[in-house]
Structure 1
Amino acid sequence: MRLSRLPLLALVAVAFVATPAAAQLTETEQAMATSVEAGFEQDVALLERIVVQNSGTHNHDGVRKVAHMLAPEFEALGFKVEWIDQSAAGRAGHLFARHEGKPGTTKMLLIAHMDTVFEPVSGFEGFVREGDIAIGPGVGDDKGGIVVILAALRAMKAAGTLADANIVVALTGDEEEAGNPVDLARADLVKAAEWADVALDFEGLSRMDGRDMGVIARRSANNWALRVTAASGHSSGIFSEGVSYGAIYELARILDRFRQELPEENLTFNVGVAAGGTPAEISDDGLSVSAVGKTNIIPSEAVARGDLRTISIEQTDRIAAAMQAIVDDNLPGTDATIEFAFRYPPMPPTEGNRALFDKLNAVSIDMGLGEMGIYPPAGRGAGDINFVAHLVDGIAGLGPGGTRSHAPGETINLLTLTLQAQRAAVLMSRLAAEPATRD
């Protein structure tokens, strides 16, 4: 379907008429809104260039090429650009851009990522524009978010508000699958967060019931692997005194007790793959399982692998302990172990995050776009902001809106590039005028 593009400033004007109680933007803020609108086609052209270049997480050369395209864009705005090699973590690297402004004012960390889930073998490539909808790999997640950042910064520079702004832009090259060890892969992001007063994450805009939503919390993304062993034997003796129940029944007991006993708010735990037999094993990469067995043999091994998503460290620790207790309550003749891989920590909904959201919401109201809501954390996956949530107040969802993220046919509503860049430019300009909260 081809959509017509109504200038966003016209939309803002209509909203002001409909909501006379809303405070209007200052003259400088209006100038930024106008500047973003004027740069629309330039922004779309940049988006097309970086989308056409495949940058799947494991396509290291592709990630570097996207970084090379983006570096001059930041340098033209007066940023000092640094390429941070991540070959030691098995990844391409990160692009950081730094702008030194007025001392003693709010220090901002802007987060986005250059990589996508679409490797060259995916078959999903190119950039197709149909009016104000565009289709392409990573067009919204998260190359559109990068364009939002640049559009907002250009508008700030044109209006004179960038000069005083203290900003670090962190564009990671492995957000979709962080390198190993994670501490190395995220060391520079963590260091930037220790410097910053606020973190602004430019992944996609969330909407609910036709309303733009802010994101003040994102859940963790962790993995677990379950291994069960049992004494084998003739199947005719199963359930008898002194005879093993077998590994598959023990695996089923554990997983079903997870299902029945663990569920609570903001918690999910998926079983991604499972197998049992004599023997059964998980592949080294954890992506497949194999097993053989006969119906008249009690199975000696069973394996399963899944994820665990939580809203806080407290919930993570408590649920992991509950899972361990279930695993340890073995059926006769069986034993089981569970191993956890804690990868992406949670971003809990703190008061500091809520206060930062309130500032974003004020911008939205002043633009005549209406009051934003807070998006339920269970509706979002983990992201790079999770790694710094324990260090700095933050909000996410400042990128553009679209559909089919992580799926062939991923789309972006190009109008939201402008909308979100306007919001971000005003928010960052206001933050840049506030005193720093850290020395």
Structure 2
Amino acid sequence: MSDMKGGNVVVIEALRALHKVGALDNTSIAVMFTGDEEDAGDPKEVSRGDMIALAKKSDIALAFEGTVLDKEGRATATVGRRSSSAFALEVRGKQGHSSGIFSERAGYGAVYEAARILDGFRQQVIEPDLTFNPGVILGGTQVGYDEAGSRGTAFGKTNVIANTVTVKGDLRYLDTVQRDRAHARMRAIVAQNLPGTSASIAFEESYPPMAVTPGNLKVLELYSQASSDAGLGAIAAVPAGLRGAGDIQFVAPYVDSLDGIGATGSGAHSPLEDLELASIERAAIRTAIFLYRLTR
């Protein structure tokens, strides 16, 4: 629909128009469609290896995820995207009778320690375009988490101090400097344990960030000019912090890139997702003119 499938149609229609007038002669335009819905699989060096190899031989990379509209209803494009990564927090406490909670002998238990850590993140790690979301939390005296199914079980009793908490969450950042700063702050908070507890945190990278670069902004300038010349209005950059992860992030470190130039709709990733059919024509016109100028 509007999120990605509409963009596939935009690509085909733009190339069809160029082919019809002979504008593809003596050009080299590579097109890659993936059917995994951005569930790349590991190791990503293999699952996205062909994509990266192609980028290294190219001048620019374009991705056709859905176009985001600004507050005035005007089309935008994406010159930067935040990463997609994960954190796993493991907390331990001393199991014992609940009547001893807070004592020197029993300590505070795993649940209080987990609550302290997560609230510490909320208060001390906040900065623009950085988010971290604890999506799953399990605590008690027996905890099990199924990584593949993203589900778990927990057992505990109200009169027993919990000895285990597991937290799974995601972490999104704009660049590696912001990532390293967040990691350092989070590790420092995790290390300030309440009495009778211990904790550890681990991070896992998924999608690298797509930094806003002068090259990406230049591609946007040329694309916006093509749109204006077609009578479709200028195209501004959507704030990088508003976009989630996308496959273009695997190639952006190697080539100037632009994303979010596909179709327009609403309700992405929901049963109510829809598509504005006329947006396919507008996007195809912009893309055809843009590609024609690039190849000349």
Partner Cα separation in structure 2 for residue 318 and residue 343 of structure 1: 18
Provide the C-alpha distance between the structure 2 equivalents of 1:384 and 1:408, rounded to a whole number of angstroms: 23
2:3 to 137, 141, 146: 141
| 1:254-269 mapped onto 2 (5 Å cutoff) | 254-269=117-132
Instruction: Please name the residue that 2:34 is paired with.
Output: 172
Structure-1 residue corresponding to 2:150: 287
Report the secondary structure of 1:154's partner residue. Answer: helix
User: Structure 2 matches for 1:206-285, cutoff 5 A?
Assistant: 206-209=68-71, 210-285=73-148
Q: For this pair of structures, how many residues does the alignment match?
A: 295
Q: Work out which of the residue numbers 185, 192, 197 in structure 1 matches 2:59.
A: 197
CA distance in 2, matches of 1:390, 1:329: 36
Match of 1:394 in 2: 257
CA distance in 2: counterparts of 1:431 and 1:170, whole angstroms: 19
Look up the match of 2:239.
Answer: 376
Deviation, structure 1 residue 369: 1.9
Amino acid at match of 2:138: A
Residue by residue over 1:220-254, the C-alpha shift from the partner in whole angstroms, topping out at 9 and shown as x without a partner, is: 11111111111111111111123221000010011
Q: Distance in 2 between matches of 1:362 and 1:161?
A: 19
Counterpart code for 1:400: A
- Separation in structure 1 between the aligned mates of residue 111 and residue 148 of structure 2, nearest angstrom: 22
Contact 2:220/2:235, CA 8 A, preserved across alignment: no
Per the TM alignment, residue 279 of structure 1 is displaced from its structure 2 partner at its CA by: 1.5
CA deviation digits over 1:389-437, x for unaligned, max 9?
111110101110011111012111010111000100110111111xxxx
Distance 1:319 1:299 in 2: 28
Q: Unpaired runs of 5+ in structure 1?
A: 1-138, 434-439
Distance 2:176 2:37 in 1: 21
SS at match of 2:111: helix
Give the structure 2 partner of residue 186 of structure 1.
48
Look up the equivalent residue of 2:92 and give its one-letter code.
T
Q: Tell me the alpha carbon deviations over residues 24-46 of structure 1, each in whole angstroms, 9 at most, x when there is no partner.
A: xxxxxxxxxxxxxxxxxxxxxxx
Question: Cα distance, 1:286 vs. partner?
Answer: 5.9
Measured after TM superposition, the shift of residue 175 of structure 1 is 3.7
Note if contact 2:262-2:283 (Cα within 8 Å) is conserved in structure 1: yes
Secondary structure of 2:139 counterpart: strand
Q: TM-score under structure 1 normalisation?
A: 0.66
Counterpart mapping for 1:19-98 below 5 A: none
Larger CA deviation: 365-374 vs 297-306: 365-374
Tell me, yes or no, if the aligned pair for 1:175 and 1:384 is still in contact at 8 Å.
Answer: no
Identify unmatched segments of 5+ residues in structure 2. none
Judge which range, 395-404 or 284-293, deviates more: 284-293
Kept after mapping to 2: 8 A contact 1:281/1:302: no
Q: Spell out the pairing of 1:272-421 with structure 2 (5 A cutoff).
A: 272-285=135-148, 287-421=150-284
After superposition, the CA RMSD in angstroms is 1.2
Secondary structure of residue in 1 paired with 2:262: coil
Q: Structure 2: how far apart are the matches of 1:213 and 1:205?
A: 6
Which residue pairs with 1:89 in the alignment?
none
Contact 2:95 2:161 survives alignment (8 Å): yes
Which residue identity is paired with 2:254?
Answer: L
**Which amino acid in the other structure matches residue 235 of structure 2?**
M
The aligned counterpart of 1:163 is 25
CA distance in 1, matches of 2:261, 2:22: 22
Aligned equivalents of 1:337, 1:370: Cα separation in 2: 51
Aligned-pair CA distance for 1:166: 1.3
Matched, 1:423 2:279: no
Name the structure 2 match of 1:28: none
Question: In structure 1, what is the Cα distance between the partners aligned to 2:188 and 2:144?
Answer: 23
Alpha-carbon distance in 2 for matches of 1:400, 1:370: 15
Q: Distance in 2 between matches of 1:183 and 1:321?
A: 26
Work out the CA distance in 1 between the residues paired with 2:189 and 2:152: 23
Take 1:269 and 1:353, find their aligned partners in 2: how far apart are those partners? 26
Partner Cα distance (2:3, 2:236) in 1: 21
- Contact 1:220–1:347 (8 Å) recurs in 2: yes
Q: CA deviation at 1:255?
A: 0.5
Percent identical: 45
Offset at 1:298?
Answer: 0.8
User: Which residue identity lines up with residue 358 of structure 1 in the other structure?
Assistant: E
| Distance in 2 of aligned mates of 1:343 and 1:240 | 41
Give the Cα separation in 2 of the matches to 1:281 and 1:227. 12
Segments of 4+ in structure 1 off by > 4 A?
A: none
* Residue equivalent to 2:295: 432
Q: Is this contact kept in 1: 2:210–2:253, CA < 8 A?
A: yes
The TM-score with structure 2 as length reference comes to: 0.97
Shift in Å at residue 328 of structure 1?
1.6
